[in-house]
Amino acid sequence: MTALAHETLEAVMPKVATPPSDLDDVLWHAWKAMKLPEGYHAEIVEGFIEVSPTGRYAHGQIANRLRRALDRFLDGGEFAAYQDLNVVHKRKVWIPDVFIALEDAEEHVIEEGLGIDASGVELIAEVVSPGRESLERDRDRKRRAYARAGIPVYLIIDDYDGQGSVRMLSGPVPDQARYESEVRLPYGTAVTIPEGPAKGFAITKSITGGPRRS
């Protein structure tokens, strides 16, 4: 958690011991009360509010390429690719780089229109940012969180894994916070989504770019 997160939480959270059973409610109300500077966003991941800056150019470029390609692939169907929206599961909050949900997702919109319930999400993709905290969040903490929420497919596009890799995780086991299947391939090798509305869509060099320098 960044210093900014600590400072913001001190302003909105009560100065009392909080029973673990109430932690989700406390974090939820603290998150809703946060006022962040432009260029930052906050998520609730595994019992912490995490404040992060918006992605760098290369990060945004890959995410935008992926969203546009998915939109073309999904065009004419019931589903669409989204960015910059909250995905909520039992008062956990994430802002994925890209995700797929129904084009008309009103039935999955949560209270006050704060976001889309995870039950309506078919795929989430994260583009890994540099730094130890960011690497651990996308590779480990969000991997567990998305499995717990039953997200059918989780894609990790990772510039910092060797010369770059795409991991495709599927078959969530919510009570064990894990995915049954994992495919990991280097940049430059097509990774094809095996199920859901984007079945058959391939993540290729046109989205990731070529292998990175070691």
| pLDDT of the residue at 214 | 65
Q: Considering Cα of 62, then 51, then 161, then 172, what sign does the dihedral take?
A: negative
- pLDDT recorded at residue 188: 93
If you average pLDDT over residues 151-172, what whole number do you get?
A: 97
pTM, entire model: 0.87
Burial readout 153-176 (b: 16 or more C-beta within 10 A, e: otherwise):
bbbbbbbbbeebbbbbbbebeeee
The rounded mean pLDDT for the chain is 89
pLDDT computed for residue 173 by the predictor:
98
> What value does the mean pLDDT take over residues 55-71?
93
- Indicate the helix (H) or strand (E) that contains 71: helix 57-74
CA distances, 17 to each of 8, 127, 137, 169 (Å): 18, 36, 26, 38
Whole-number pLDDT of residue 57: 85
What pLDDT, in 10s, does the model give residues 100-116?
A: 999 998 899 987 888 99
141: pLDDT strictly greater than 80? yes
DSSP-derived 3-state class of residue 208: helix
What is the rounded average pLDDT of the residues 141-167?
A: 97
Show the tokens assigned to 179: 């995915």
